[in-house]
Structure 1
Amino acid sequence: MSLSSLTLLLLASASPLGATAPDRDDPPRVETAAEDPAVDDSQDVVVTARRREERVQDVPIALSVLSGEDLAESGAFNVNRLQQSQPTLQFYSSNPRNSAINIRGLGAPFGLTNDGIEQGVGFYVDGVYIGRIGASTFDFVDVERVEVLRGPQGTLYGKNTTAGAINITTRAPSFEPESRVEVSIGNYEFLQAKASVSAPLADNVAFRLSTSGTTREGTVLNVRTGVDQHRLRNLGVRGQLLWRATPDLDFTLSGDFNRQNPLCCVQYYAREGATQRPLNRQYAALAAAFGYAPPSKDPFDRVTDLDADSNSRQEIGGASLVGNWNIGGATITSVTAWRYWDWLPANDRDFIGLPITTVSQNPSQQKQFSQELRIASNGSGPLQYTLGAFYFHQTIDTQGSQVQGPAASRWLLNPGASVPPGSSGCATATTAACNPAVLNGLTSTNTISFDNTSFAVFGKLNWEVAEGLHIQPGLRVNYDKKRGSYVSVVTTGAGSTTLTSDQRGVLAPQAYEPAFSDWNVSGDFTVSYDFSPDIHAYATYARSFKSGGINLSGLPLDAANNPILAVATVKPEKVNHYEIGLKTQFADRKVTLNLAAYWTEVNDYQATVTNGQLGVIRGYLANAEKVRVRGFELDSSFRPSARFNVYGNAAFTDATYASFKDAPCPPELAGGTTATAAQTPGAPGTPGGLSPAFCDISGQWLPGISKWSLAWGGEGNVPVGNGQVYLGYDGSYRSKFSSNPSRSRYMDIDGYSLSNFRLGYREGDFNIFGWVRNAFDQHYFELLSAQSGSTGLIVGQPADPRTYGLTVSSSF
């Protein structure tokens, strides 16, 4: 389908059914700190963070809320863009499958995704749990609000919400005809069109159909192919059917389909560092031996010369049936869902324009089924409760492949100890490194399967023991069972399965079947006090856990190049969390000031590690002894009048490995011969020096976490005619953070600040505004990685440059 046809289809689907919809009472709009000044201050922000509708200020949880209008005006059309307004939210992605959502620095191991492990930030859409972060990277379609819950939410949201949860609610079908349309255009040929239509089909049946399409040309030019990388090609469709069988019983049937076909997410030359590898085997000497130079050593020239295919095509979809039955004193809710995720990637995993690794990809197919049944009390009496049960079953099938090219032998193998320093090695040596045929065509074909079954029962009470004083205990009992299979068949370029030691050192055949099962009991206890309708305080203790897992990316090898089966499984994370908070509003609710402080300790933290093999690209998972995260947060807004508002949010996060004594070493200590117990490793970055077998990184930063994160902004407007002209600004800042599991002198990402502006006119349901994002064209990396083989090459993924455009939206 052409882009113009797609746009026409979206616009046509937004046309009102029949005449213009009559006047109606819109539901209360859900706001963030950056609220629309035209909205009546008296409207309460309503959320479902505790599985029931409540005013956000009354919920004893550190919680942020963004409305659909906020998302549109800020350009936050997916999870990645939420982090600019949410200081405690981190999103990292080298491609959709290898994505991680963290809250307060916790959630998922930093590095490549492993099928056998689960996330620590729960992701929900209309009550349906999304089992993989990769399956949550779709564009938002017709969203009413996004709730970001900070801190463990295991009692009501499940075992894998040790860091928090993201709860997305889409707009429900309406019994009054309505339609919405939004179109945005911008530089880099950006075009995004969204549309929805809703209307009754009968007195007790209504539907909603929503669509979204996004296209943008790439921001990085591949000079080898002439093709722009980092392009967007996204399409989403969502349909809902609401049946009010009786005044007390309703069912909503939903289905969605999302397809993304971007050319992403390339990483390329960022800088060089020194490792322990012999000097003639580090990046500069190897590149010189091939006569190779990157097209630019300034990564923000945004050019690369990758010679292998890159793509990140995926399909995401599913169906759900939600039923609500009001039985008087309580409401019974059932959520039944089936979802799938089909991932078809292509990657250049050597990150440069030489044929070292010509294929590295892991196509995956996930299917999941979930059933939740719960009962929640109605009304506002002194005792309220929520009780429920949850079942989840997931399968993942992955077909991995890795192929080495003609440059792999020279790049990955040792040309010999007798080669003089500074020499490329192959003019005088006759080792395997000098023979391209040794590794050319060496192929690993991996067949990976994962079966995950989980069952839980849970309950939460809210007992007002005295006026304003609430005691809120919660308990969850969970059972997990996981089975997997990993089979890697390695063949030479001639098709033989008989391998030399050099070949096995790069790609080793493996076959193992890990299994894991366990019961866990988790819970929380909150005491809150309402000093007044607008001042609330709370204190929480939570004992939570993240399910154990199995390693399904290959295992480290012993001296004989055999997999070490002892590390095939990973223990559950055990979390102890303490938090106090104060939520206040004053000056007739024109000022909101919320504070939270917390202390979280994680035992058996699930970390991504690597071993000393030269050819290893994928890491595996292991348990760090203990991690500690502590910090404080501030969320504030000031709305002195309907003409002006400002907000400011801040987070301080101190996240460290309290104890990790056998961690992987950073690149500057890797690549050399492993030192024995009687030997002393060389100083970091000593060519030819001895490398430690492991490093004690206790006290170091956790990766991906800035100590300071800020978000601020505001909006002012003046009346013009029947509407208003407005000017808005949103700013954010993140301080320096580490982009490597073990902190490296070469892989810190410097702090950066972003500024977004918008100028527009709104009148009723019509809104038109121009926007500039990253207005000052800040140059920064989203992440940095080290090239496999300890060559010292550091590659990076640059963030988007300055973008600008125009958005027009209206409702009918």
Structure 2
Amino acid sequence: MKRFTKAGVLGATALAAGLVTTAAQAQVDVITVTAQKREQTLQEVPVAVAVVTGETVEMAQVRDARDLQFLVPSLEVGQAASSTNQTFSIRSLGTDTFNPGLEASVGVFVDGVFMARQGAAINDFLSLERIEVLRGPQSTLFGRNTPAGVISFISKAPEFEYGGQAEVTLASHEGRILRGTVTGPLVEDRLAFRLDANRNVRGGFVRNVTDGRELNDRDRWSTRAQLLWEVSDNTQVRFIADYSEIDEQCCAAPFFFYAPASLGAIPALGGTLLDPNPWNYQIAIDNPVFTENRNSGVSAQIDHQFDGFTFTSITAFRNYFENQNIDADFTNLDLAGDRLITQRYDTFTQEVRLTSDGGGDFDWLLGGFYYDNTLRHNNQTPYGSQLRAFADALTGGAITTVESLVGAPAGLFLGEGQGLREEDYVYNTKSWSVFGQVDWHVNDRLTLTGGLRYTRETKDIVADIDIVDPWSAVDLIGLGEQVIFAQAFQTQTGLAPTPANIGAFAAGFPAQFQALQAFAAAGSTDPAVNPFLALTPLQFNPPAPGFTADRSEDNVSGNLIASYQLTDNTNIYASYSRGFKAGGFNVSANAALTGVFEFEPEISTAIELGAKALIFDGTTQVNMALFRQNLEDFQANIFTGSGFGLQNAGEVQLTGFEFEFFSRPFERLLLSGGFTYMFESKFKSFDSNACYPDQAVVAGIFASPADVPAGQCGRSINVVTGLPVTTQNSTGQDRQTPDLTATFSAMYTHPFGDTLEGFVRADYSYVGERTLAGNFNPRRAVGSTELVNASVGFGNRDGDWQMQLWVRNLFEEEYQQGNFESVGQPGSINVYPGDPRTYGVTLRARF
């Protein structure tokens, strides 16, 4: 019986291309991808796309999306405050995940279903066929328009022959991983199933010296069930249901640098000062640090073959729930109360496509996409019982002085239970789009492609914010002006600065009075004159009202591609693409810091020249791309130690070159690798960047942020709040992202007798120097990072069983997964340390 499998078994020829262990002819294997929603070989698809097969994931001991960056040089994955708080970047473009109002610049799809939260893709991979990483704006064919790129996970479908695999891993730090899959028919030639399950536990590698807790552990499990129904020769339906849980003590951030004031204040209040070396893997905290996550979903994909085209429908419901508790101050003092965050995403997506079968002068695709997402977000971060005493120790009692000057009761400011008592948001997003693409095969060698997408998006939000923080409401510039005037008045006149004396002086000597006022106003914005400005970083929660708002927008995006087959083994292409990410609302009370409660869409344009070729008699495939990419109104979310500043950051400009290869120089050796080199990565315009702690502030108040000298920090009047705001003019500045990222993998297999085969494998990754701070804080700069993973093993040549001994971070590289400016401690830095060396043994059995 002829069975319809065009959509159900995509990429079946790609299996051997990802560093497999079986012997083959000394040629690279054909890699099939669906980057343009139809089957094409990697060589012929005119898109910059990297492919990692399921076998590569397995042999490289890749356990979650964070490990993918060791195989794809243009991909970076940063770790933040929780297990699920990871930021995906492609070509150095990504979106901070600390503000759920921001959607990702890098879209994540699993079997064609869009993940509303990137954290939904971090659990251990089950039955992977391959992963496709598409670089640059994906403006036409994927469900959600993405300005930086797409990570698409494609899993193995159920099969009509019984089979399966079981895997057991024992690792250092008491690591244990159990994985299994089974597939087979339920009704011959009609109904097949696949079941996957995974359990992954590991002890923590960061010790809390306060109570002996082990942090940065791993405790997660997941399961997945699939049904494949061959309804007829022309119709196929695939059902998928999945559920996963994460319950981990993560993530610890030891101190990397203590500001001088903290060195005295922490021990003075009974806190523990540890050596500021995160790679001692020790921390001293007094509150819980945990991540709880529940992620589930169901989807149904229907493919029906008509005469000349295929109809595809993908319907999905997904739910994502997360509960975080973060010891925000990362000390064992009670400075910040428990930072409790809960958020839930409920998502419905529907995609339909009509795809031509090809064979003529034109290939075409038409489709539509609908997206409905509701986010519920709640955050509570009150002040702790020792915050006021800590602030007094940092400032030498200056806050008590301010209380006296403004007439506030002693001890009012920064009291226990004040601060952000609660913020609660209900945020709804609805979007629909129609899209299409046509490939015109002008002749046997030249193909012209054009695609268009129209998107309509609406959003509404209800925000309830409860802040009690009289300290953050104090105008420190205005207070400084009053004090400077009073001191100057008394010095010049010899009189006490009483209202009566000041009034008499103003009436009798108006010119001198105006000069004193001007002197005080100028000094109030000069940190060298106004001592109260140094207290600004401790104003965490300026008054922020609740609000209700809605917005709508539409966009037309698309692409143009010309591809040409120079020879039977060489293709070149040129492309232009325009991507889009909608604007939205600031889901954070920190909006009061900048006055930005609503932000505008992000628009990406890219020009790319590429070449793909098979060389050396088909033993090597090389792919190259030269690109220029501009991102207008980049949605930046930059942490300053006292809150996040979210805003549209003008324009980012990138120019770079990518190279990757797969090579089988002889039968048993397989090599792969690549690099991305950035000729430029700069803010073409960004006049309202956040300043970093201790950054020198230019005296005076400028008319606008654009008038602040380039590369410096200064004050201007915020047009939204009408109050002075301190910003850095970063126009023309290098973004301090890595100039070079590179990966290399090698695997050699060798037979032993007639039935056994051994192998040795090594993976290397390099990330150049960079600064992990959008505000260019020099203390957050990190050197280059080089990581080496290796493994050796043997097994049955038929693949029935295998044993693998492996080690990750072989040379114990001390590297950072992220860092940030310490909360409430201006000048201090905390770091999320990378994993130490880990090792283990994995046993696999296939049947």
Residue 446 (str. 1) matches residue 423 (str. 2): yes
Q: Residue 70 of structure 1 aligns with which residue?
A: 56
Residue-by-residue CA offset, 1:241-270 (whole Å, 9 max, x unaligned): 111110110111110001011110111211
Q: Residue 475 of structure 1 aligns with which residue?
A: 452
Give how far 1:515 is off: 2.3
Report the AA paired with residue 532 of structure 1.
T
Report the AA paired with residue 372 of structure 2.
H
Q: Residue 106 of structure 1 aligns with which residue?
A: 93
Q: Residue 807 of structure 2 aligns with which residue?
A: 772
Contact 2:28 2:663 in 1 (8 A): no
Q: Residue 251 of structure 2 aligns with which residue?
A: 265
Select which of 617, 635, 650 maps to 1:625: 650
Give how far 1:56 is off: 1.4
Q: Residue 488 of structure 2 aligns with which residue?
A: none
Q: Residue 669 of structure 1 aligns with which residue?
A: 695
Residue 787 (str. 1) matches residue 822 (str. 2): yes
Query: In the superposition, relative to structure 1, how do residues 121 and 680 fare at CA in structure 2: closer, same or farther (>3 Å)?
Result: closer
Equivalent-residue separation in structure 2 for 1:107 and 1:685 (angstroms):
25
Residue 397 (str. 1) matches residue 376 (str. 2): yes
Contact 2:471 2:539 in 1 (8 A): no
Equivalent-residue separation in structure 2 for 1:645 and 1:504 (angstroms):
57
Partner secondary structure for residue 330 of structure 2: coil
Query: In the superposition, relative to structure 1, how do residues 305 and 504 fare at CA in structure 2: closer, same or farther (>3 Å)?
Result: closer
Select which of 622, 637, 640 maps to 2:662: 637
Give how far 1:338 is off: 0.3
Query: TM-score by structure 1 length?
Result: 0.87
Q: Residue 276 of structure 1 aligns with which residue?
A: none
- The alignment's C-alpha RMSD in Å is 3.0
Partner secondary structure for residue 147 of structure 1: strand
Q: Residue 598 of structure 2 aligns with which residue?
A: 569
Contact 2:541 2:590 in 1 (8 A): no
Residue 749 (str. 1) matches residue 785 (str. 2): no
Residue 457 (str. 1) matches residue 434 (str. 2): yes
Select which of 210, 228, 238 maps to 2:224: 238
Equivalent-residue separation in structure 2 for 1:123 and 1:674 (angstroms):
45
Equivalent-residue separation in structure 1 for 2:104 and 2:278 (angstroms):
31
Give how far 1:42 is off: 6.8
Residue 56 (str. 1) matches residue 42 (str. 2): yes
Query: In the superposition, relative to structure 1, how do residues 633 and 757 fare at CA in structure 2: closer, same or farther (>3 Å)?
Result: same
Partner secondary structure for residue 58 of structure 1: coil
Equivalent-residue separation in structure 1 for 2:670 and 2:364 (angstroms):
37
Query: In the superposition, relative to structure 1, how do residues 730 and 476 fare at CA in structure 2: closer, same or farther (>3 Å)?
Result: same
Equivalent-residue separation in structure 1 for 2:713 and 2:802 (angstroms):
57
Partner secondary structure for residue 802 of structure 2: strand
Give how far 1:53 is off: 1.6
Select which of 210, 227, 237 maps to 1:251: 237
Report the AA paired with residue 525 of structure 1.
L
Equivalent-residue separation in structure 1 for 2:288 and 2:423 (angstroms):
19
Q: Residue 717 of structure 1 aligns with which residue?
A: 749
Contact 1:468 1:531 in 2 (8 A): yes
Equivalent-residue separation in structure 2 for 1:96 and 1:166 (angstroms):
19
Query: In the superposition, relative to structure 1, how do residues 647 and 363 fare at CA in structure 2: closer, same or farther (>3 Å)?
Result: same
Equivalent-residue separation in structure 2 for 1:424 and 1:775 (angstroms):
53
Contact 2:334 2:386 in 1 (8 A): yes
Equivalent-residue separation in structure 1 for 2:15 and 2:171 (angstroms):
28
Equivalent-residue separation in structure 2 for 1:233 and 1:551 (angstroms):
32
Query: In the superposition, relative to structure 1, how do residues 429 and 185 fare at CA in structure 2: closer, same or farther (>3 Å)?
Result: farther
Partner secondary structure for residue 646 of structure 1: strand
Q: Residue 628 of structure 2 aligns with which residue?
A: 599
Q: Residue 323 of structure 1 aligns with which residue?
A: 302
Give how far 1:441 is off: 1.9
Residue 362 (str. 1) matches residue 395 (str. 2): no
Query: In the superposition, relative to structure 1, how do residues 593 and 244 fare at CA in structure 2: closer, same or farther (>3 Å)?
Result: same
Q: Residue 810 of structure 1 aligns with which residue?
A: 845
Select which of 720, 732, 738 maps to 1:699: 732
Contact 1:97 1:113 in 2 (8 A): no
Contact 2:369 2:432 in 1 (8 A): yes
Residue-by-residue CA offset, 1:332-360 (whole Å, 9 max, x unaligned): 00000000100011101112221110211
Contact 1:37 1:644 in 2 (8 A): no
Report the AA paired with residue 719 of structure 1.
P
Number of residue pairs matched by the alignment: 753
Select which of 164, 168, 171 maps to 2:156: 171
Residue-by-residue CA offset, 1:584-638 (whole Å, 9 max, x unaligned): 1122321111111100011111111467xx8x33x14211111101100110132
Report the AA paired with residue 774 of structure 1.
N
Give how far 1:788 is off: 2.6
Contact 1:416 1:425 in 2 (8 A): no
Partner secondary structure for residue 134 of structure 1: helix
Equivalent-residue separation in structure 2 for 1:680 and 1:533 (angstroms):
57
Higher share of residues assigned helix: 2
Give how far 1:649 is off: 0.8
Contact 1:175 1:200 in 2 (8 A): yes
Residue-by-residue CA offset, 1:750-789 (whole Å, 9 max, x unaligned): 1110111111113212221100110000011111100133
Q: Residue 6 of structure 1 aligns with which residue?
A: none
Select which of 292, 296, 303 maps to 1:313: 292
Q: Residue 337 of structure 1 aligns with which residue?
A: 316
Equivalent-residue separation in structure 2 for 1:34 and 1:473 (angstroms):
35
Contact 2:698 2:712 in 1 (8 A): no
Contact 2:254 2:276 in 1 (8 A): no
Report the AA paired with residue 778 of structure 2.
R
Give how far 1:113 is off: 2.0
Q: Residue 103 of structure 2 aligns with which residue?
A: 118
Report the AA paired with residue 180 of structure 2.
A
Contact 1:409 1:436 in 2 (8 A): no
Report the AA paired with residue 319 of structure 1.
V
The 5-angstrom pairing of residues 101-250 of structure 1 reads 101-109=88-96, 112-203=97-188, 204-250=190-236
Q: Which of 26-35 and 537-546 deviates more?
A: 26-35
Query: In the superposition, relative to structure 1, how do residues 171 and 556 fare at CA in structure 2: closer, same or farther (>3 Å)?
Result: closer
Contact 1:116 1:484 in 2 (8 A): no
Partner secondary structure for residue 300 of structure 1: helix
Contact 1:159 1:547 in 2 (8 A): no
Partner secondary structure for residue 544 of structure 1: strand
Q: Residue 503 of structure 2 aligns with which residue?
A: none
Query: In the superposition, relative to structure 1, how do residues 806 and 552 fare at CA in structure 2: closer, same or farther (>3 Å)?
Result: same
Contact 1:237 1:258 in 2 (8 A): yes
- How many percent identity over aligned positions? 27
Select which of 79, 90, 101 maps to 2:76: 90
Partner secondary structure for residue 71 of structure 2: coil
Equivalent-residue separation in structure 1 for 2:408 and 2:68 (angstroms):
50
Select which of 518, 521, 526 maps to 2:561: 526
Query: TM-score by structure 2 length?
Result: 0.84
Equivalent-residue separation in structure 1 for 2:607 and 2:45 (angstroms):
17
Give how far 1:239 is off: 0.2
Contact 1:37 1:645 in 2 (8 A): no
Give how far 1:530 is off: 1.1
Equivalent-residue separation in structure 1 for 2:18 and 2:625 (angstroms):
16
Structure 2 runs not aligned, ≥5 long:
1-10, 476-537, 715-723
Select which of 474, 479, 484 maps to 2:461: 484
Give how far 1:432 is off: 8.0
Partner secondary structure for residue 789 of structure 1: coil
Equivalent-residue separation in structure 1 for 2:263 and 2:556 (angstroms):
53
Equivalent-residue separation in structure 2 for 1:340 and 1:506 (angstroms):
31
Report the AA paired with residue 534 of structure 1.
N
Equivalent-residue separation in structure 1 for 2:794 and 2:454 (angstroms):
53
Residue-by-residue CA offset, 1:295-329 (whole Å, 9 max, x unaligned): 33221110101111110110111000100000021
Report the AA paired with residue 793 of structure 1.
S
Query: In the superposition, relative to structure 1, how do residues 259 and 385 fare at CA in structure 2: closer, same or farther (>3 Å)?
Result: same
Contact 2:814 2:836 in 1 (8 A): yes
Residue 554 (str. 1) matches residue 582 (str. 2): no
Contact 2:639 2:821 in 1 (8 A): no
